[in-house]
Structure 1
């Protein structure tokens, strides 16, 4: 029998905070949008809940609910709605009701007691109560990321009726896995029958007089109707259903208007904003370690189709990713002599440790600053000057270029960006990446607001934390200025060839990013070699570059369409040049190998005869590490 949940509305007592004020606590700091906070906070929660020895996964799905799920929400979950919940009733009756489904796996799930008044012993988990019932329940500063506990409200803030459903599978404490299901809504306070209520509501099992989640098979049966992603045998995790999400869409004057996502246009806009947030806030999660494994598996889906985020992150943040890899090695004590392959667009780079010299006292001994570190390093900063490669259409450029990126230590989630002011002609970009050492990360955690998007030296209660944050940020900013100033005084002659090379590429437009109307046409493409995924861009011409892909071996596969008229024979001839800081030079047959797939045939060499309008693939395999330029010329066949 499918479970039917009962409603519990919290009466107001002394000291209670009304639910309407909870979102204000989260929005009181910073300028992040609700969608940005949603992604940042739920991603952080999933990372913090990772099971020991497991690589956690995070997934967000934007989708339209089917009839069965809509009926289950109205008849089995959100029951007993009164006038104080008219907004929820209106959402549930919307014919095009959408949801955001957020799933994590490889995590502990919401374990611990399920009764809101149950105390826990030291070291015992209390995740269910803390996440579902509590507000502002802080975690120790030694935790990897979130410390305030307000982030859970981000799901309510995105929902038009401020309503969510939680489904979790966890170890109930005796080695047995248990499914738990409960729903919640946060609305304005109201009066009823002479009593005052906070506006916080839960739907679950109220037989005890309090509200508890539905558990066991009854929870699993109902959840499997509501959620698309289910649990594999033996797996734990949490799924959240955000009901009737809203998205901010700029009007003709650029003023953002919040609207419920109830059609495909709004769903695509919401998905675009989620992509942007994942790229700007979570790009470090897409950077593999020395074993080739990324810290976290992140997936985004729109109407059951997977949205490419990993490839975009790899392309946009090549320089940042290289810097983060170097910082990871430095903080792991790996010798810099083990060279990492440097992206070809980097002209100059440096990795610097930030060392502090505080004065120790009885109140602030050495350990209060650096824990058990043997040195006084509070973090590392990577600095780079690189050729500015244009972004794909629709992807933000301002976040990644001429900006310093600051992130937390083990969590490796971006906290903020700061501009690196510089007067240049757009030829180059400046990049800085900073990450604290694990021993000093707690100081930066203490300096964050509830939204985790800033470091304020005046926020920590500890003098040691205030000192570490203030002095470290000051040193990082000084190092950035010195790095950029040192570049300005270099000989103009020394840089002339690089500048001329980069200027010659300014007319290129990206391919391989979000699709553009009519595709990209071009006789030239530029591809970044030298390890990892890279950029490829095309310029206007007769040959249409349909897509560019670089495989794990570094070989480029360029899908092209021969020029019109259809059926008329022509010869395509490809040449490859390497673009380096010293200029561009042609590659010999010993350095590059070209092959063409046209129809069912494969031909080796620099040219191939094709018929107009046909599609084919040019394979470019190199034995050198460099950014490359490929010219595809069209010749008549006599």
Structure 2
């Protein structure tokens, strides 16, 4: 049975338990994004082989009655009198409680001394005390564990009772030692009798001074295993953290909670999910109540495959300065002039895959530094042709620390004012961000100029994940607009022929081939005449202009026919001729080449005295 230790304020002061949580402050990130980012960063920093791989898993489950009894009777049997954790039993339903377990493997575990006042051996890690005992971080850790060491407070925030159970296996004195300890970090300070307490509590094995140490050895391993925690083999090292009674912030149940963390892994850690020849850097695994939840597969996602493709091209360029990419991808070296320093490489590509999922990340650049996790998505100017761009900026190794210094506690932004620079010296973080934005402003301006004379007021993108489409229209009714309603009583309907796009294009399969369908409203015309509707498609260049032949090796769209509102074939030629007056919908069908954006134009011409 573990014992409770409550930390009192010393006569010389102390820190409120909420310090780590309060230090996080306001952030645009959701709770589960923060949980993923902080825990994954800690796991990655603790990898055994600096050039190797790690495993990272998140499992949520409802404990059995026996497991719940062990948790409440053997681990947290003693509770503080006036804390969030005091209400632990309120979260037990039908003799069961829910827990979330975050575990890693191929990491070094939480080793080193178990007491913060012990110096340890020279060069020995202090991972245990840094994570379990201390608030903040030592400057001797470099950039490991982030630049502040306070982000771990989010793990306690993720628990409705501010409780975590920490199990780790680390090399100690030449052997793997299991360690298990309970920690609360979300409580505030309080009075109990004549004494004042910080709200920081631990559950472990009491020493002669009353301060608890972790349960160690086989007893720790057996206890963790009995609670259902994912633990390493007896010869391996790694860490598992159990979040007790996980919060419902933004989710309704355990599956949604784990799915939110898996989505966060895709959004913020997709570079580590890529297989660049030796498997992904991080092997992800997610489950809820025994059912697996898919992990990040960036190359299979319509949004993140754009970032991933740009990243892989940029990585190749960094490894090989002579590497050239295809026509879709552009490299830009970002540098400062005085002093002349290389700040990083910007790689961007114009998407030829319209984003179906909402596109909050359209026209943005993923900002990366070592260890190649996304810090932030920086919004940039959109091209005038309506096709989104996606970019990746990778800071140079020499500037990594400078960019890290500019980050807040949550590491989700580059705040140039926080970067340490000499008085009146250029700020490299500001220069890099300004140059990135200027690059896309310039591209946008060039694209707008290239698009002059192109009827693009009605440009539209297809909300689907199979190809990029743009619609432009010439002739009468050139703008995108809803179909005209019924004429007002007594009004004269115009006899002038007009063709109007009704909706954005849609994708379909025709004889096993992906096609794009554009629906038009064709109206008007003088009785006795005929209407000739012409349609054409052009490949869109990155600058927003048109290419009649397309880039070298690119497949061109082919016209597949006109179909009526009822779905019957009207014509297989690009010119559709019908008798006037006409008032119905017609649809133009084009093949949709993969990874190609096209612009479609349509016009109508009235031919007099049809049939004479």
TM-score scaled by length of structure 1: 0.69
In structure 2, relative to structure 1, the CA distance for the partners of 1:185 and 1:80 (3 Å cut) is: same
> Of residues 530, 549, 556 in structure 2, which corresponds to 1:583?
556
Structure 1 residue aligned with 2:15: 17
Asked if 1 retains the 8 angstrom alpha-carbon contact of 2:406 and 2:414, the reply is yes
Structure 1 residue aligned with 2:218: 217
Asked if 2 retains the 8 angstrom alpha-carbon contact of 1:509 and 1:537, the reply is no
Cα RMSD, aligned residues only: 3.5
- 1:143-182 matches, cutoff 5 A: 143=143, 146-172=146-172, 174-182=173-181
How far apart are the structure 2 equivalents of 1:386 and 1:507? 13
How far apart are the structure 2 equivalents of 1:379 and 1:163? 41
Q: CA-to-partner distance for each residue in 1:528-573, whole Å, 9 max, x for gaps? A: 9xxxxxxx99999xxxxxxxxxxxxxxxxxxxxxxxxxxxxxxxxx
How far apart are the structure 1 equivalents of 2:55 and 2:294? 16
Superposed displacement of residue 68, structure 1: 2.3
Asked if 2 retains the 8 angstrom alpha-carbon contact of 1:164 and 1:240, the reply is yes
Structure 2 residue aligned with 1:489: 449
Structure 2 residue aligned with 1:318: 305
> Of residues 353, 360, 369 in structure 2, which corresponds to 1:398?
360
Superposed displacement of residue 136, structure 1: 0.9
Structure 2 residue aligned with 1:79: 77
How far apart are the structure 1 equivalents of 2:21 and 2:454? 55
What stretches of structure 2 of length at least 5 have no aligned partner?
A: 468-505, 519-550, 561-592, 598-612
Structure 2 residue aligned with 1:440: 399
Structure 1 residue aligned with 2:427: 467
In structure 2, relative to structure 1, the CA distance for the partners of 1:191 and 1:466 (3 Å cut) is: farther
In structure 2, relative to structure 1, the CA distance for the partners of 1:452 and 1:182 (3 Å cut) is: same
In structure 2, relative to structure 1, the CA distance for the partners of 1:34 and 1:94 (3 Å cut) is: farther
Asked if 1 retains the 8 angstrom alpha-carbon contact of 2:402 and 2:420, the reply is no
In structure 2, relative to structure 1, the CA distance for the partners of 1:389 and 1:355 (3 Å cut) is: same
Structure 2 residue aligned with 1:506: 462
Q: CA-to-partner distance for each residue in 1:120-160, whole Å, 9 max, x for gaps? A: 35532100000001111145585366111011111100100
Structure 2 residue aligned with 1:524: 509
How far apart are the structure 1 equivalents of 2:102 and 2:31? 15
Superposed displacement of residue 167, structure 1: 0.4
Superposed displacement of residue 191, structure 1: 1.6
Asked if 2 retains the 8 angstrom alpha-carbon contact of 1:61 and 1:102, the reply is yes
- 1:451-466 matches, cutoff 5 A: 451-463=410-422
Structure 1 residue aligned with 2:279: 293
Superposed displacement of residue 168, structure 1: 0.3
Superposed displacement of residue 490, structure 1: 1.9
Structure 2 residue aligned with 1:227: 228
Asked if 2 retains the 8 angstrom alpha-carbon contact of 1:527 and 1:627, the reply is no
How far apart are the structure 1 equivalents of 2:40 and 2:426? 27
TM-score scaled by length of structure 2: 0.72
Asked if 1 retains the 8 angstrom alpha-carbon contact of 2:21 and 2:151, the reply is no
Secondary structure, aligned partner of 1:277: helix
In structure 2, relative to structure 1, the CA distance for the partners of 1:22 and 1:141 (3 Å cut) is: closer
1:109 aligned to 2:74?
no
Asked if 2 retains the 8 angstrom alpha-carbon contact of 1:282 and 1:414, the reply is yes
Asked if 2 retains the 8 angstrom alpha-carbon contact of 1:59 and 1:299, the reply is yes
How far apart are the structure 1 equivalents of 2:153 and 2:239? 16
In structure 2, relative to structure 1, the CA distance for the partners of 1:284 and 1:314 (3 Å cut) is: farther
How far apart are the structure 2 equivalents of 1:74 and 1:442? 44
Asked if 1 retains the 8 angstrom alpha-carbon contact of 2:68 and 2:95, the reply is no
Superposed displacement of residue 397, structure 1: 2.6
Secondary structure, aligned partner of 1:379: strand
1:332 aligned to 2:319?
yes
Structure 2 residue aligned with 1:358: 338
Q: CA-to-partner distance for each residue in 1:423-444, whole Å, 9 max, x for gaps? A: 757x411212111011211001
How far apart are the structure 1 equivalents of 2:595 and 2:510? 11
Superposed displacement of residue 628, structure 1: 9.1
Superposed displacement of residue 474, structure 1: 1.6
Superposed displacement of residue 233, structure 1: 4.3
Corresponding residue pairs, total: 487
Asked if 2 retains the 8 angstrom alpha-carbon contact of 1:182 and 1:204, the reply is yes
Secondary structure, aligned partner of 1:481: helix
What stretches of structure 1 of length at least 5 have no aligned partner?
A: 250-260, 360-374, 512-520, 529-535, 541-577, 588-624, 630-638
Asked if 1 retains the 8 angstrom alpha-carbon contact of 2:68 and 2:96, the reply is no
How far apart are the structure 1 equivalents of 2:384 and 2:65? 57
1:479 aligned to 2:439?
yes
Asked if 1 retains the 8 angstrom alpha-carbon contact of 2:170 and 2:237, the reply is yes
How far apart are the structure 2 equivalents of 1:525 and 1:151? 52
